Chain A
Amino acid sequence: MSAFANSLASAAVVVTVGAVVVLWRHRLRSIVAALSVQGVALAATAALLGIHEHDRGLLAVAGLVLLVKAAVVPGLLARVVAANPGARESDPLVNVPASLVVAGLLTLGAFVAARPIVALVGGPTGRLVPLGLATVLIGFFAMVARRRAMSQVVGLLLVDNGIALVAFLVTSGVPVIVEFGSTLDVLFGVVVLRVLLARLSAAGFSDLDQLRSLHD
């Protein structure tokens, strides 16, 4: 295997492992840190592809991803966590060992489901597509299985990172304008959710199921 394929695979694996770490850790600070590491890995994926393909646009995308997904978004979330440093995901709906088993099954399922895409894309990039799909599924599962509003936001960002990983690998490079648009969307979403989270914790809510009383 070439150095390019090896380093690309490592970066993609870090993205998926970052998602697993979010399921594994209880402390919200660690969860946000995992998100940040995942952002770095995602940017590394884009940068590797950019170097390999000699595509300056993709390098610009990598810089953008590094700025927003590794620094700005985790930073915004970290400020919410900082208001309550010891906050933990104390009582998840699905406990941690079971969650890790489910994550394993989802990764397996992603490899099965992505076979047609792997065959279509081919090469070292195509083989890694299931990792992106697994990240999407694990992120979605984190939203379902975790109680804290913060975990839900992180789950949503995991889904977005997974989609971005698949996009990089399948199209070997997204146009800057497209990536710019979608990253901006995520940024706006996080800003809004951050305000919402701050308001929720100010009102004494941290568990989303407490909001059930709003149901008509």
Chain B
Amino acid sequence: MIVLALVAGLGVLATLTALVPRAVRVKLVAGLLGLVEIVGGATAIRVLATNHAIVGHTSSLVPFTGVRIDLTPLGALFTLTTAVVAIAATIHWVGYRRHAMSSVSLSSAFALFVTSLLLVPAAGDIVTFLVLWEVMALSSLVLVAHDHAKRDETRQAAWWYGAMTQGGAALITLGLVVLGGHAANPSFSAIAASASHLPAATRGAVFLVLLVGFGSKAGLVPAHVWLPRAHAEAPAPASALLSGAMVNLGIYGIVLARTLLGVGATWWWLVAGFFGVISALYGSLYAATSTDLKRLLAYSTSDNMGLVVIGLSASGLFAAHNAAASSLALIATLVLVTAHALYKSTLFLGAGSVQYATDERDLDRLGGLARTMPVTTAVIVVGALAVAALPPLNGFGAEWLVVQSLVHGLSGADPVTTVATAVFVAALALTGGLTIVAFVKAVGVGFLGRARSESAEHAREVPVSMRIAPAITAAACVALGVAPGLAITAISRASDAVAPNRSGLTATLSGFHLQALRSAVDPLALALGAVAAALVVAGLRRAGGPRTGAKLRVFEPWGSGRAVTSARMQYTATSFAEPLQRVFDDVLAPQHDLDVSHVLESRYYVERVAYASANDDIVERRLYRPVLALAAVLGVRARGLANGSVHRYLAYGFVVLVIALVVVS
């Protein structure tokens, strides 16, 4: 309790420290914030190590209900993940100073954001949770809107993000208040004890409301529209926190809903699984086709959260008939959440470094950065391999566990669950393929080959703190991939708080063992085997090649037997994704605009061809735009109500008062 008060106090102090003069501001705030993160992370480690929740209640600070703290091992896992991501983001922020991130408002918002992210999982009752949740939402909104004076896109992103986050918070408030109204007091433990007495319809409705509310924070389709905008426009340290920490808390919320309401009916998890599948496929498809590096990462976040929700749904669906697979799915989900936090923050920090060095986010204008920015390229490659779930990185273990739980959950399942599980596995497979396309494109086009623009050509490696920051999270990706033992112990403790672990999962230094399901894998051995196989293939090729003396000459395909001499002869991000875009033409519905103008004298000669293609978000275009247009029309109509007459306004108030009295009496 005292430790968490210390975290909150130091966080507030760091927020206020933003008022010191600019020369020392970033260093002071970052120093205090580092302390906040270390204390918060250490507290979380203690909770996970001792398996004892930190519980406390004080009636001061907030009137009526007071502040209630309940940091369970589940919450501690999220706090610990946030702390690691936040340490990296803070170090990156110290180097990010050039981009006006050192202003008073942004420094204080950053400190407040980090503190609230660390404390949200420690909230033990509705009021504490919602207050911290709002502090988190509003401080991150300030960070997203950092460049609002100069860029219209930033303003747009801030509007979308603000509207979506407040809408989500309204739903969360509604759901929690309905639950709290039936409980003895607003603490989560009292709610969990009383929720089982509620009628099934009420519990189902509350679950749906909470799923949509928390799902919008997790970036589930179709409530994902804020995500590509906000993640792309926010400064890199903030993007890393948004994607590596805040989005997780949406998942924390859904798990919280399960602890409060119980596992519930099958249809709950079918609905959740539906959104998960849609998000995974939609996110990975847009990640594969977008050309903006940060938008690509944002869509990939949506995709990963879809996979996480698939895992959660599988856990809920299997709970009735297969406790082992159900608990395994839950653990797999949490492993995936932590893995995602680490590799996605690596990638966002790396992308931020690229943007810092080149002022570009468009992959079609990058290229050749491997030579000029070797450290940044290396961390991006590690992150990309982890996203693509290749051994021995942490993404592999996570997805292997999800697949294991799905495959083993089939035994004893009813037909509906069987079909749903099959769909989940198919979605997982397709998503995996599309993710590899997306990240081969990101690394291949953005970092290999030749530079496609002046700024990419003259890019210089970023300051040392910006190189260290993503390297920390990248190292964590490798460590958790190669030696998952400790992390798995911690995560299975966290999931024990929700459902007891029956899967017999243990992890050693070099692999996972599922005793109950008789299955095991060793990521490190797999990776070493793959490297060995690659060496063997390379050796065989050399042995089978031309005799010594003859020189082997390799040419680019379609290069007419010449080496690539111009940057324009390379694949671009657009052309790389073009075949995929063609396959999914009906889903993506990209907009093409071809304008051919002919020479006056003859229609057989073309004077000029203008081609533009846009691949904007189809959910936004087909679902949100019509609603927004309708709202705009209604707003213009409603302006007639307000004609400037004071009497009319008074009359509105008077009529409402009289109607209210009539209704009451």
Determine whether B658 belongs to the interface, using a CB cutoff of 8 Å to chain A: yes
Counting chain A CB atoms within 10 Å of each CB, the highest count among B642, B644, B650 belongs to: B650
The verdict on A140 contacting B650 (CB below 8 Å), with A112-B665, A113-B662, A113-B665 known, is yes
Which label, helix, strand, loop or mixed, suits the secondary structure of the B interface? helix
Determine whether B552 belongs to the interface, using a CB cutoff of 8 Å to chain A: no
Q: Which residue of chain B has its CB nearest to the CB of A115?
A: B665
Determine whether B535 belongs to the interface, using a CB cutoff of 8 Å to chain A: no
The verdict on A113 contacting B661 (CB below 8 Å), with A140-B650, A140-B654, A144-B651 known, is yes
Asked if B647 contacts A137 (CB within 8 A), the reply is no
Q: Which residue of chain A has its CB nearest to the CB of B655?
A: A144
The verdict on A144 contacting B650 (CB below 8 Å), with A109-B658, A113-B661, A115-B665 known, is yes
Which residues of B have CB within 8 Å of A147?
647
Asked if B647 contacts A209 (CB within 8 A), the reply is yes
Q: Which residue of chain A has its CB nearest to the CB of B652?
A: A144
Determine whether B548 belongs to the interface, using a CB cutoff of 8 Å to chain A: no
Asked if B664 contacts A113 (CB within 8 A), the reply is yes
Asked if B653 contacts A209 (CB within 8 A), the reply is no
How far is B648's CA from A211's CA once the two chains are assembled, in angstroms?
Answer: 13
How far is B647's CA from A115's CA once the two chains are assembled, in angstroms?
Answer: 30
Determine whether B566 belongs to the interface, using a CB cutoff of 8 Å to chain A: no
How far is B661's CA from A91's CA once the two chains are assembled, in angstroms?
Answer: 30
Asked if A215 contacts B665 (CB within 8 A), the reply is no
Asked if A208 contacts B646 (CB within 8 A), the reply is yes
Selected from A110, A114, A141, A209, the residue in CB contact (under 8 A) with B646 is A209
Which residues of A have CB within 8 Å of B643?
212, 215
Counting chain B CB atoms within 10 Å of each CB, the highest count among A144, A152, A211, A213 belongs to: A144
How far is B665's CA from A114's CA once the two chains are assembled, in angstroms?
Answer: 7
Determine whether A203 belongs to the interface, using a CB cutoff of 8 Å to chain B: no
Q: Which residue of chain B has its CB nearest to the CB of A211?
A: B646
Chain B 628-665, CB-CB to A under 8 Å as 1, else 0, gives 00000000000000111111001101100110011011
How far is B659's CA from A113's CA once the two chains are assembled, in angstroms?
Answer: 11
The verdict on A141 contacting B662 (CB below 8 Å), with A211-B646, A212-B644 known, is no
Determine whether A214 belongs to the interface, using a CB cutoff of 8 Å to chain B: yes
Determine whether A143 belongs to the interface, using a CB cutoff of 8 Å to chain B: yes
Shortest beta-carbon distance, B660 to chain A, in Å?
A: 9
Determine whether A93 belongs to the interface, using a CB cutoff of 8 Å to chain B: yes
Which residues of A have CB within 8 Å of B661?
109-110, 113, 133, 137
Q: Chain B: interface residue count, which band?
A: 10 to 19
Which residues of B have CB within 8 Å of A144?
647, 650-651, 654
Which residues of B have CB within 8 Å of A211?
644, 646
Which residues of A have CB within 8 Å of B645?
208-209, 212
Asked if B653 contacts A140 (CB within 8 A), the reply is yes
Q: How many residues of chain A are within 8 Å of chain B by beta carbon?
A: 25
Q: Which residue of chain B has its CB nearest to the CB of A146?
A: B647
Which residues of A have CB within 8 Å of B657?
137, 140
The verdict on A137 contacting B658 (CB below 8 Å), with A112-B665, A115-B665, A144-B651 known, is yes
Which residues of A have CB within 8 Å of B664?
113, 116
Which residues of A have CB within 8 Å of B642?
215
Asked if B644 contacts A152 (CB within 8 A), the reply is no
Asked if B650 contacts A109 (CB within 8 A), the reply is no
Q: Which residue of chain A has its CB nearest to the CB of B664?
A: A113
Shortest beta-carbon distance, B256 to chain A, in Å?
A: 40
How far is B381's CA from A13's CA once the two chains are assembled, in angstroms?
Answer: 84
How far is B644's CA from A110's CA once the two chains are assembled, in angstroms?
Answer: 30
Counting chain A CB atoms within 10 Å of each CB, the highest count among B643, B661, B662 belongs to: B661
Which residues of A have CB within 8 Å of B654?
140-141, 143-144
Q: Which parts of B575-601 form the interface with A (CB within 8 Å)?
A: none
Shortest beta-carbon distance, B78 to chain A, in Å?
A: 45
Which residues of A have CB within 8 Å of B662?
109, 113
Q: Which residue of chain B has its CB nearest to the CB of A111?
A: B665
Which residues of B have CB within 8 Å of A106?
658
Q: Which parts of A44-78 form the interface with B (CB within 8 Å)?
A: none
Shortest beta-carbon distance, B379 to chain A, in Å?
A: 52
Shortest beta-carbon distance, B640 to chain A, in Å?
A: 12
Shortest beta-carbon distance, A181 to chain B, in Å?
A: 19
Q: Which residue of chain B has its CB nearest to the CB of A145?
A: B647
Which residues of B have CB within 8 Å of A213?
644
How far is B664's CA from A113's CA once the two chains are assembled, in angstroms?
Answer: 7
Which residues of B have CB within 8 Å of A93?
647
Q: Which parts of A103-121 form the interface with B (CB within 8 Å)?
A: 106, 109-110, 112-116
Q: Which residue of chain B has its CB nearest to the CB of A209?
A: B645
Which residues of A have CB within 8 Å of B665?
112-116
How far is B646's CA from A192's CA once the two chains are assembled, in angstroms?
Answer: 18
Asked if A152 contacts B658 (CB within 8 A), the reply is no
Which residues of B have CB within 8 Å of A113?
661-662, 664-665
How far is B645's CA from A141's CA once the two chains are assembled, in angstroms?
Answer: 15
Asked if A143 contacts B650 (CB within 8 A), the reply is yes
How far is B658's CA from A215's CA once the two chains are assembled, in angstroms?
Answer: 27
Chain A 173-216, CB-CB to B under 8 Å as 1, else 0, gives 00000000000000000000000000000000000110111110
How far is B650's CA from A212's CA once the two chains are assembled, in angstroms?
Answer: 14
How far is B266's CA from A48's CA once the two chains are assembled, in angstroms?
Answer: 68
Q: Which residue of chain B has its CB nearest to the CB of A106?
A: B658
Shortest beta-carbon distance, B665 to chain A, in Å?
A: 4
Which residues of B have CB within 8 Å of A110?
661
Which residues of A have CB within 8 Å of B653?
140
Besides A109-B658, A137-B658, 14 other A-B contacts (C-beta < 8 A): A115-B665, A137-B661, A140-B654, A140-B657, A143-B654, A144-B647, A144-B650, A145-B647, A208-B646, A209-B645, A209-B646, A211-B646, A212-B643, A212-B644
Give 5 pairs: A residue, B residue, CB < 8 Å, sorted on A.
Answer: A116-B664, A137-B657, A137-B661, A144-B647, A209-B646
Of all A-B residue pairs in the complex, the 9 with the closest CB atoms, nearest first, are: A215-B644, A113-B665, A212-B644, A113-B661, A208-B646, A144-B650, A144-B651, A143-B650, A140-B654
